[in-house]
Amino acid sequence: MDNLYRDFILEHYREPHNRGVLEPNDLHFADSNPTCGDEMTMTLRLDPAGERISDVAFEARGCAISQASASIMTDELRGMSLDEVRGMDPREVIGNLGVPIGPARVKCALLGYKVLQGAVIGAAAQWPDEAEVLDDAGSGGAAP
Amino acid sequence: MAIEEVVPRVLDGAALRADFPVFERPTASGRPLAYLDSASSSQKPRAVIEAVADSYAHHYANVHRGIYELSVDADARFEGARRSLAAFIGAPSHREIVFVRNATEALNLIAYSWGRANCRPGDLIVSTQMEHHANLVPWQQLAAETGATLEYVRLTDDGRLDPDDLNGRLARGPRLVTVSHVSNALGTINPVAEIAGAARAAGAVVVLDAAQSVPHMPVDVAALGVDFAALSGHKMLGPSGIGALWGRRDLLDAMPPFLTGGSMIKRVTLEGTEWNDVPWKFEAGTPAIAEASGLAAAVDYLQGIGMDVVRAHERFLFERTWAALGEISGVRRLGPASADEHAGVISFVVEGIHPHDVATILDQHGVAVRAGHHCAQPVMQRYDLPATTRASFSVYNDLDDVERLVEGIRATQRVFGTA
């Protein structure tokens, strides 16, 4: 029941990977979780061709789930093309957390993903449909 | 706080849970539900649920169309609910009670109808930094559309309205002053009679957001000296989908309608329309009929306990909780420390742990609390917090809930290794 807060989640929360702000940067975006008001900023650097991500950093005041999710997700970004980023599956972002995410916390788990998409498309991205993304990611953590 | 100052327990909240079917529901934690989110929405006693069902089963027809027996019956119950609510909040007349969906709609009704008819460019509207978005956004819209200026009374560090700041703004002769009776985000009880007296003396119309006070303490709108008051049924043990606006009759009479259509008219021709009398002028379309019966049952239930007893009970729970949270290292409590100025709503933050995570772990222990900005983002900005965790009480809460809250916070600190 308590497995939402496994040790590795708490480790990412205490010391998130890729924390900070890249200056200068090629892409930067800020967005928030309307449920709790948490805000996250993400900055990205691209390769000289402007096609692949060479570096990424994020900064946020958020919960363990949103911090851990962004921390784990940003670790995978270096070398990815912008097209690959646009095609990312939010269910994988949730799945990579490795803990049960229910409807009550799905926005926390996807805040980093949403900010990343916003940075790549240059405008606020829409939240993925919750029913769809939770289908594969399993449920738990929230009331039925 | 000295133990002797603590008021005695006046109500057996745990025993009252037998009246609320929701407490029969098991939680995933295997423990009974500790419901500490009544400021968001309250649970419903069987009497309310049965009144709604009885209305649909035995008394249902449209209202205000009373040709046949059943419709006359439905109408009598609907208008009876209006009288019952009027008496409950000290309204001088039931004709001053307008049924709406909720407090949000009541406040919008004032802003759209009274506001657009009365506010001019340069007029001053005074709200406060502690308002729920429902008592903030409609005034922002009104100011934007009329050219009026909207200002906010500042908050002190302990979550009270700054009296000097308030008086300074009142001295400039505002057109309208709007304030919550109890802050949903901080729990602060504002000195409404005092504020209303000063605001009216300065020439202002005074709006009261009573959504968080009417369910929890005796409220007499006439004695408070305000001009309008807004409330929601769902926060006072009643159904969702029904709330009320109370307004002074002369003001309501002079106001144009908000929503138009059926029921709110006396006579319609293709050339024009004559409005119905107050309050029906403001009730376009078929209203929440069964919900009105449920709201009347909620009023009966609360009156059966006595609002002074409800207030004393929640005051007792506040004092115990405030003291207990104060003993947990790393917990910061928001709002006034004095029970005289603090209702049964306690916002807090736990150092090093996000409010969402606190609420999730409490949920895993069967304790339901709210985490977030509580629809009061300016309050969070004022105290430089992204969010808080909030525990709020009603009649069915008791010391066992307080113990489980404290136990859950300690468990959260153990999970995060901050204890």
> In which band, very low, low, confident or very high, does the pLDDT at A135 lie, cut at 50, 70 and 90?
low
CA distance B9 to A57: 53
How confident is the model over B52-111, as pLDDT tens digits? Answer: 999 999 999 999 877 899 999 999 999 999 999 999 999 999 999 999 999 999 999 999
Cis peptide bond N-terminal to A24, omega within 30: yes
Classify residue A109: in a domain, yes or no.
yes
Please name the residues between 299 and 358 in chain B that touch chain A, using a CB distance below 8 Å. Answer: 353-357
A23 domain-assigned? yes
Task: Give residue B6's pLDDT.
Answer: 55
* Whether B363 contacts chain A with CB within 8 A: yes
> A interface mutation test: which of B22, B27, B356, B385 has the most A CBs within 10 A?
B356
Res A141 pLDDT > 80: no
Residue A140: the pLDDT is 42
Is B3-40+306-416 CATH 3.90.1150.10?
yes
Output the pTM of the full model. 0.93
Q: Measure the CA–CA gap between B321 and B329, rounded to whole angstroms.
A: 14
Structure confidence by residue, pLDDT tens digits, B372-385: 999 999 999 999 99
| B88 residue type, one letter | F
Six-digit token pair at B271?
Answer: 């050339």
What CATH number does domain B48-303 carry, 3.40.190.80, 3.40.440.10, 3.40.640.10, 3.40.30.10? 3.40.640.10
B393 CA: distance to closest CA in chain A (Å): 21
Query: What pLDDT, in 10s, does the model give residues B131-166?
Result: 999 999 999 999 999 999 999 999 999 999 999 999
Please report, for chain B, the start and end positions of each structural domain, with discontinuous segments joined by +: 3-40+306-416, 48-303
Contacts of B393 (CB under 8 A, 6+ apart): B36, B38, B216, B313, B314, B317, B318, B344, B345, B401
- The strand order across the sheet containing A39-46 reads A27-32, A39-46, A53-61
Residue numbers in B near A1 (CB within 8 A):
28-29, 364
Q: Is residue A121 part of a domain?
A: yes
The structural domain count of chain A equals 1
Name chain A contacts of B369, Cβ cutoff 8 Å: none
Residue A136 lies in a domain: no
* ipTM score for this prediction: 0.85
Range of the domain at A98: 2-131
Mean pLDDT of chain B: 96
Best CA proximity match to B195, nearest among B218, B172, B170, B173: B170
pLDDT at B128 over 90: yes
DSSP-based helix, strand, coil % in chain A, nearest 5: 40, 20, 40
Name the 3-class secondary structure at B194: helix
Portion of chain A with pLDDT greater than 70, in percent: 92
Q: Domain with A37 in it: what CATH number?
A: 3.90.1010.10
Helix axes B289-305, B307-326, angle to 10 degrees: 80
pLDDT per residue as tens digits for the range A74-117 = 999 999 999 999 999 999 999 999 999 989 899 999 999 999 99
Give residue A143's pLDDT.
Answer: 35
In B, which residues are within 8 Å of A39 by CB distance?
A: 386
